[in-house]
Amino acid sequence: MFDIRTIRANPEAFDAGLKKRGYSDTSAAELIALDETRRTATTKAQEIQTQRNAASKQIGAAKKTKDEARASELMAEVGALKDALQAAEDEERATNDALRAALEVIPNLPLDDVPEGRDEDDNIEVLRWGEPTTFAFPAREHFELGEGLGLMDFEMAAKLSGARFVVLKGALARLERALAQFMLDQHVSPADGQLGGYTEVNPPMLVRDDAMYGTSQLPKFAEDLFKTEDGFWLIPTAEVPLTNLVREQTLDAADLPKRFTAHTPCFRSEAGAAGRDTRGMIRQHQFTKVELVSVTTEETALAELERMTANAERILQLLKLPYRKMLLSTGDMGFGARKTYDLEVWLPGQNAYREISSCSVCGDFQARRMNARYRATGSKELKFCHTLNGSGLAVGRALIAVLETNQRADGTIAIPDVLRPYMGGMTEIAD
């Protein structure tokens, strides 16, 4: 969400940012013209209110002098001004709503170091960790492994819920739980002075409109969400409740950054994913994720992005899963992001890197929607907070990567060392 005053102050920079993102639905000139209409309506309403107040005072003066004719004339004038004021206020409200509606669907502006591009083909590889895993036998995909073990059931899930669901059983269900617990433990407990330190949260998974609006899922992405009949939204990620923990608050800069993490189910309609990843667990309506959220100051936001991404990378490194770090282009970034790193894990079964984490800095874009501010140390000035969010990691995709990376020729799975304590000492999964 943008402040129209910022757009008025530097329309060229605003238009340049939108052009870089490939967004052409509006321009600074159009928004400023809409704001002028709104300001004119506001001024008109204020002028009519001033006239009405003055006429009302004159009625009392006329009655004091027993000038009933003048009092009646003024009362008629006040009545007419009341109707005019109502019309002016209606116009002010309509133009204000129109400006807000125009502003709330405009994507965030990219930072200067974000590469300009149309889609994922224009992303830039920043680093690569580990060598892609290869085998002396044909690598199977995760669903072949899971079904072969009798522990991953898509057919039963389809009977229960339809497409894009799965039933995990036995050791695979436990492995998914183990992965989530392992991730949370790493994020909550600092490993050194630089990583970890997040506060674990168990948030609601049903939220109101204002929460979805605050993190910019609404109004633009309503079709990608699930909504209950009584008006609650199922969260697409724990980013929504975690970020909204600071809504309508004024924080002290000395108490920032605030860092939250949560393991929750996530629900997405995948409205725009028809025909993509229809087999397996890559793209589902329901999945679990460990989310990372930071709320910080303008000055520390970019350093926090690097730190958040490093936390997600550390999980992959401890699991010994090869990955690459990508700086997303303007055409591949999310709606609310100013800069995003994607971590793509190597999946031997697909012979490809696939996204497993996305870490973004959003500037004050979300905080303006949530009215979340902070007071700088030693200052009375209030500023909007800067927010960040990232996956640390997508648990289902981590399960996929663990299965495919640790598969054996006979279809059994070696359990990574760091997960064995969470698996009761198990060293492998076999049928």
My answer on whether omega of the bond before 257 falls inside 30° of 0, hence cis, is yes
- Length reported for the chain: 431
- CA separation for the pair 396, 393 (Å, rounded): 9
Distances (CA, A) of 352 to 51, 141, 298, 367, 412: 71, 11, 37, 37, 22
With a CB cutoff of 8 Å and minimum separation 6, the contacts of 160 are 167
Q: Which runs of consecutive H residues, i.e. helices, occur in 104-224?
A: 142-148, 154-160, 170-188, 209-214
Task: For residue 337, give both structure tokens.
Answer: 């992001």
Nearest to 401 by CA among 342, 320, 287: 320
Task: For residue 402, give both structure tokens.
Answer: 């663990």
Q: Which runs of consecutive H residues, i.e. helices, occur in 128-189?
A: 142-148, 154-160, 170-188
CA 129 to chain centre: 27
* Burial class, 7, CB count within 10 angstroms (exposed 0-12 / middle 13-18 / buried 19+): buried
Contacts 24+ apart (CB under 8 A), 127-131: 127/324, 127/325, 128/322, 128/323, 128/324, 128/325, 129/313, 129/316, 129/317, 129/322, 129/323, 129/324, 129/325, 130/317, 130/320, 130/321, 130/322, 130/323, 130/346, 131/322
Which residues on neighbouring strands pair with residue 226, listed in sequence order?
A: 234
So which residues are the catalytic ones?
Answer: 268, 283, 355, 358, 397
Measured between its terminal Cα atoms, the distance across the chain in Å is 52
Q: What is the 3-state secondary structure (H, E, C) of 251-309?
A: EEHHHCCEEEEEEEEEECCCCCCCCCCCCCCCCCCEEEEEEEEEEECCCCHHHHHHHHH
Q: At what angle do helices 170-188 and 301-318 cross, to 10 degrees?
A: 140
Instruction: Tally Cβ neighbours within 10 Å of residue 261.
Output: 25
